[in-house]
Amino acid sequence: MKSAYVHGYDPRETRRLQDQASTLVELLHSDTSYPEGSSVLEAGCGVGAQTVTLASNSPKALITSIDVSEASIAEARRTVQAAGIGSVTLRQADIFHLPFPPASFDHVFLCFVLEHLAQPVEALRALKSGLRPGGTITVIEGDHGSTYF
Ligand SMILES: C[S@@+](CC[C@H](N)C(=O)[O-])C[C@H]1O[C@@H](n2cnc3c(N)ncnc32)[C@H](O)[C@@H]1O
């Protein structure tokens, strides 16, 4: 899965993700905040570009952010620390092999991840198994069919 990630993991991609996230803060996050004490899984957090906004909008939620790439997690850790955020746990993990007991989370958030997976439905099933009954999942993807060249 890691080698199949089309954008790769170089510094240019880190900048692209940070730029993308900063231009989309209002559009993507204006209606996303989680209650105090709730447990949130951010799946495929990349370099933490969305993590900072998630945590800032929900300062009393307990956010766990995972990515399959160890290098991205290390970058995300730097980003989160630089923003002075202490409510996020970062961990290298694969969506398809979640290292958490079933029903560990109240909410799942993922953004621009399913479009990179060969088995997006299986990914959603795996993430659903991590949710408590009544939990929610927020999925954001681009509509790449809307522009033609
Ligand atoms: C386009 S980036 C999006 C990152 C972040 N959500 C954002 O919006 O800035 C997609 C991320 O999904 C991660 N990813 C791909 N397959 C994964 C998997 N099976 N488990 C966890 N993360 C995965 C990639 O490593 C990459 O960091």
Is residue 122 domain-resident? Answer: yes
Least confident among 5-19, 28-42, 81-95: 5-19
Which tokens is 104 given?
A: 């560990």
Is residue 105 domain-resident? Answer: yes
Mean pLDDT of 32-52: 95
Is residue 125 domain-resident? Answer: yes
CATH code where residue 133 lies:
3.40.50.150
Task: Give per-residue pLDDT as tens, 11-37.
Answer: 888 888 888 888 888 888 888 899 999
The CB density around residue 87, as the number of other CB atoms within 10 Å, is: 15
Note the pLDDT of residue 147. 67
Instruction: Report CA-CA distances (Å) from 131 to 63, 103, 105.
Output: 14, 4, 5
Residue-number span of the structural domain to which 111 is assigned: 11-25+33-142
Ligand 1 midpoint to CA 146 (Å): 22
What is the total count of domains within the chain? 1
Which tokens is 118 given?
A: 């060969």
User: Quick one: which atom of ligand 1 is closest to the CA of 111?
Assistant: 6
> Is the model's pLDDT at 1 over the cut of 50?
no
Phi then psi for residue 90, to 5 deg, are: -110, 140
Pairing of strands 39-43, 88-92: unpaired
Pick the residue whose CA is nearest to atom 26 on ligand 1.
Answer: 46
Note the pLDDT of residue 99. 98
Is residue 4 domain-resident? Answer: no
Task: Give per-residue pLDDT as tens, 100-121.
Answer: 999 999 999 999 999 999 999 9
**Residue in the structure block whose two tokens are 């900063």:** 22
